[in-house]
Amino acid sequence: MYAINNCRVYTGTRLLADKAVIIDDDKIVEIVNQSDLPAGISAINLNGLSVAPGFIDIQINGGGGRLFNEEPSVSTISTICKAHKRFGTTNFLPVLLSDSREKMISAVEAVQYCLDKKLHGVLGLHLEGPYINEKKAGVHNKNYIRDLNAEELNELIKAAEAKALKLLTVAPEVVRPDYLKMLADAGVLLSAGHSDITYGDAVKCFENGITCVTHLFNAMSQLNSREPGLVGAALQAENVWAGIIADGLHVHYATIDIVKRIKGRKLFLITDAMPPVGKACRNFMLGEYAVECRDGKCATEDGILAGSALDMATAVRNCVKEIAIPIEEALRMASTYAAEFLGMGLELGKIKSGYDANIVIFDDKMEVKGVIINGKFEFWANS
């Protein structure tokens, strides 16, 4: 048992001052007045820094120079974790883009191992594809885009029942509605993405198991005057969540401002991060595509966006500086709301008694100085 004190505490609901957070093993015990700390408890003085719930990113493709699709292994997950925790991400879903059945099985096995051993802050697997619309494939390898058959459906259901598969991005128009219902009933969170679905069909899919939209505005049917598309349906649906990439490249900041006013707490931040996060690598291969990262933009030679070089701390800063979202709300967008979407809002996303001790430590410039992951304190302010 130990405490962190002399810090501002963004709990996920409010800002507290002159408090201390007591941690025992991997759980938050309580928040107390600094003067009420138990005698003899070990206390870490944060010298006026701030703490908030650790960031939760449901869409990370890579980091630290590694790409999950290239090698979906525990080793890759470990490298990605190390890269992103420097930017405050304490929990995440590794993403496997459209790939072979064999790669999907390897990804499930790697994530299952991490879950069983409680390693690297992994909350489950995000399969982005391969059941998507070729018209909106982006950098997904079209050789792997395919229809969902009964055999793979059963494998996905088994992975969901074992808790490995958490989130599946699909184009609802290319997957049978009864298959979607079976996946949702098995506990898979379903998100619409890489889709050319019409507004009318999108409204129906939201009534049949789809609860989220993947990287809103990117790789989907757009909001137009006579056809609102998937974007329009998602903005209109009060109960549908949406992840958004706040790097100023995927979506204009003014657009994010508009969406935030509409979606409120149903909008959360994602990075869609690629290998350059946490390691200075300007070029990498994504399947058959050569991708160059320049000025924070990851794109093919044809100009197709290929994920991002965004980290979650920068996404929060961008929301505060570019969109004037209050920092308390920007922090919730990076943690609390994602936890609620994942159905984990009673264990993650807040600094509160009984919650997992996953915390980000940062300064007034929103520069991350340390993290607490599963109760383990790491600090590199002077490194």
Active site residues: 272
What is the distance between the alpha carbons of residues 165 and 168, in angstroms, rounded to a whole number?
8
Per-residue b or e along 343-372, where b marks 16 or more CB atoms closer than 10 Å to that residue's CB = ebbeebbbbbeebbbbbbbbeeebebbbbb
Q: Are 183 and 153 in contact (CB under 8 A)?
A: yes
What is the distance between the alpha carbons of residues 139 and 122, in angstroms, rounded to a whole number?
25
Which helix (H) or strand (E) segment holds residue 345: the answer is none
What is the distance between the alpha carbons of residues 264 and 239, in angstroms, rounded to a whole number?
11
Q: Are 20 and 3 in contact (CB under 8 A)?
A: yes
What is the distance between the alpha carbons of residues 107 and 85, in angstroms, rounded to a whole number?
21
What is the distance between the alpha carbons of residues 78 and 122, in angstroms, rounded to a whole number?
10
Dihedral over Cα of 199, 60, 351, 330: its sign: negative
What is the distance between the alpha carbons of residues 370 and 55, in angstroms, rounded to a whole number?
12
| Token pair of 354 as six digits | 């009984």
